[in-house]
Amino acid sequence: MNLLELIQTDLGNKFPSNSFTYSTQNGSHMVEVAPDSVVPLLRHFKGTGQFDFLMNISGVDYPERSKRFQVVYELFSSRSAKRFRIKTNLAENEAVPTATTVWKGADWFERETYDMFGIKFSGHPNLRRILTHHQFVGHPLRKDYPADKQQHCTESLPIHFDYDPNYDDSKGLQPPRDLVPLNIGPSHPATHGTLRVMVQLDGERVYRANVELGYLHRCFEKMAETHPYNQVIPYTDRLNYCSAPINNVAYCKTVEKLLGVEIPPKAQAIRIVLMELSRIIDHIICIGANAVDLGALTGFFHLFQYREKVYTLFEKLCGARLTVAMTRVGGMANNPPDHWFNDVLQFCKEMRQGVDELDKLLTGNKIWIQRTRNVGSIRAEEAIEWGYTGPCLRAAGVALDLRKSDPYYGYDTLDFDIPVGTSGDVYDRYLVRVAEMRESLKIIETVSKNVPSGDYTIRDKSIVLPEKKDVYGNIEGLMNHFMLVIKGLRPPSGEIYDALEAANGELGFYLISDQSGRPYRLKVRAPCFAIYQSFAKQITGGLVADVISILGSMNVIAGELER
């Protein structure tokens, strides 16, 4: 029996009078249920251990249907790497019960769905806007909301604690008579972007905390609906701009899976090298910026010279350094120049020495240890509850890495380890990232020494633009170029959720195609969006100095967080 048959039998026994509708699309198994059945199903799957992660919640707008909205829940099992999708349909004024009673991590996903679509989740403890401001009117991801309609916030934003679900009385704090309000961000060097943290201090201890998002929200998903598939690629660079090529690859990989095409081995090898180089520089930024926030300026200067070396490699490959847009649906934009892989191998030698020097600078440093050890600790069970993935999850002791558990592009043939920690604190997150840089170097060296021959892209005229020499040199190439630009890439109708292991964790895209030249719906599952949910809880009861330490270890990138 396959997964869907097993689930169908299981749910038939548990809910004998059900009217569930089962289906499979593009290898994804799913069930469609009534709104009041969603939470019982989620609780059943979690309680039986079939799926331990609520990985994503998406909203979809079908204005021509009587039940206009659809809510989609993506479940994941860390044991088997299996995924399952639950879907429910709602009319304009209907509500679906909140999933926060089952998974803590449903909190922000439901608030985002409410903000973007107006879908209500009954019983949610704090169902208010999260990405748009409090003066915003309407819901931007509805199909009838104009893509060019902007609404500016004209009121000042005070420090507010109108709702505080994360205050934990078990920490033994008693309400003092005099609390000092403190506003950190959104313009503060230690927030590394437009993040706003609001705290009330009892002396140097955080009595209460709250966070506010939305200062960098560009509505990437709305832009994706109004642009052809290939024109979405540059927008993905602006998600996690610290490791832009990984975003390119994740998006193109999703579209390719919907198209049912496999890219050539050489393109896979190039993508692996680019992703691992990106993982290294992402960890460099995380560790270097966190270190400089805590006073270790030398580590910051030391690491960033290697980041610049990687940008030089990107520049040799495509001409751009930060936002590169070098991946294409079907492969890569171009062949690497001569000796590029030799340059990559030379960088690996230098970077390995750089990691060793970083080890000497920080790992045994007394001040670094005092500022990071036992700060922001989180148990594995709680990390899963919130939806942690990536280094923050592995630091808590969960050896989950999609490159191993659900391999792609031949990662299963490569020899590398998954570093894990024990306490999930800031120090363990640092150690995991350092170890991951070493593992990435091993992967890059192995692949760069054994690059397959062949083409760097597929040669399907309905997917890939012809080369310029053909566009300018013969009428067939010119017409192929013309038709693909005018008609656009047109995947078959259907839906898919696909993900890979980005530097911060699982980066996933939920894509719906209506066979037009643009995505009907493109939802981004950003790894740090789930991780940052727990931030207010993590800093409550701790020292104000630890707020910056914990924030830096989470590696929250505003472009990815808010999209």
446 and 304: one domain? Answer: yes
Question: Which residue is it, tokens 């903000």?
Answer: 115
How are strands ordered across the β-sheet holding 205-212? Answer: 180-184, 196-202, 205-212
Query: Over 70: is that where the pLDDT of 276 sits?
Result: yes
**CA-based torsion, 212, 216, 219, 220: positive or negative:** negative
Q: What's the pLDDT tens digit per position in 131-170?
A: 888 888 889 999 898 888 888 888 777 777 755 555 555 5
Contact 322, 246 (CB under 8 A): no
Q: Lowest-confidence range among 183-187, 390-394, 415-419? A: 183-187
C-alpha to C-alpha distance for 220 and 226, rounded to whole angstroms: 10
Q: In this predicted structure, what is the pLDDT of residue 324?
A: 87
439 domain-assigned: yes
Q: How far is CA 147 from CA 132, 151, 191, 219, in A?
A: 14, 11, 30, 9
83 domain-assigned: yes
Output the average pLDDT for the chain.
86
DSSP 394-449: HHTT----HHHHS--TTGGGS-------SS-SHHHHHHHHHHHHHHHHHHHHHHHT
213 domain-assigned: no
C-alpha to C-alpha distance for 145 and 494, rounded to whole angstroms: 23
C-alpha to C-alpha distance for 521 and 117, rounded to whole angstroms: 12
Q: In this predicted structure, what is the pLDDT of residue 88?
A: 93
Query: Over 90: is that where the pLDDT of 547 sits?
Result: no
DSSP three-state, residue 480: helix
DSSP three-state, residue 25: strand
DSSP 187-225: S-GGGSSS-EEEEEEETTEEEEEEEE--TT---HHHHHH
C-alpha to C-alpha distance for 248 and 327, rounded to whole angstroms: 6
363 domain-assigned: yes
- Fill in the DSSP letter of residue 40: H
Query: Over 60: is that where the pLDDT of 550 sits?
Result: yes
244 and 362: one domain? Answer: yes
453 and 338: one domain? Answer: yes
Q: What's the pLDDT tens digit per position in 64-102?
A: 988 999 999 999 998 888 999 999 999 988 999 999 999
> How many Cβ atoms from other residues are within 10 Å of residue 374's Cβ?
13
Q: In this predicted structure, what is the pLDDT of residue 428?
A: 92
Query: Over 60: is that where the pLDDT of 222 sits?
Result: yes
Query: Over 80: is that where the pLDDT of 192 sits?
Result: no
Contact 443, 398 (CB under 8 A): no
With vertex at residue 494, the alpha carbon angle to CA 488 and CA 497, rounded to the nearest 5 degrees, is 100
234 and 109: one domain? Answer: no
Q: In this predicted structure, what is the pLDDT of residue 488?
A: 80
The domain boundary residue, chosen from 122, 147, 180: 122
432 and 320: one domain? Answer: yes
Q: In this predicted structure, what is the pLDDT of residue 168?
A: 52
DSSP three-state, residue 494: strand
**CATH code (residue 11):** 3.30.460.80
β-sheet bridge partners, residue 457 = 331
Buried b (16+ CB within 10 A) or exposed e, 216-243: bbebbbbbbbebbbbbbbebbbbbbbbb
Query: Over 70: is that where the pLDDT of 172 sits?
Result: no
531 domain-assigned: no
Q: In this predicted structure, what is the pLDDT of residue 461?
A: 81
Q: In this predicted structure, what is the pLDDT of residue 418?
A: 92
Q: In this predicted structure, what is the pLDDT of residue 28?
A: 85
Contact 28, 56 (CB under 8 A): no
What residues make up the domain containing 74?
A: 3-122
152 domain-assigned: no
- Average the pLDDT over 396-424 and give the result: 90
Name the strand (E) or helix (H) holding 182: strand 180-184
457 domain-assigned: yes
The domain boundary residue, chosen from 73, 94, 122: 122
Q: How far is CA 251 from CA 3, 363, 466, in A?
A: 26, 36, 21
Q: What's the pLDDT tens digit per position in 305-349?
A: 888 899 999 988 888 888 888 888 888 888 888 898 999 999 999
DSSP three-state, residue 75: strand
C-alpha to C-alpha distance for 480 and 464, rounded to whole angstroms: 9
Q: What's the pLDDT tens digit per position in 287-310?
A: 888 888 888 788 788 888 888 899
C-alpha to C-alpha distance for 301 and 375, rounded to whole angstroms: 25
As a whole-number percent, the residues of the chain with pLDDT over 90 amount to: 30
Assigned token pair, 439: 């593992």
**CATH code (residue 304):** 1.10.645.10
69 domain-assigned: yes
96 and 232: one domain? Answer: no
DSSP 278-311: HHHHHHHHHHHHHHHHTT-HHHHHHHHHHHHHHH
The count of domains in the chain is: 2
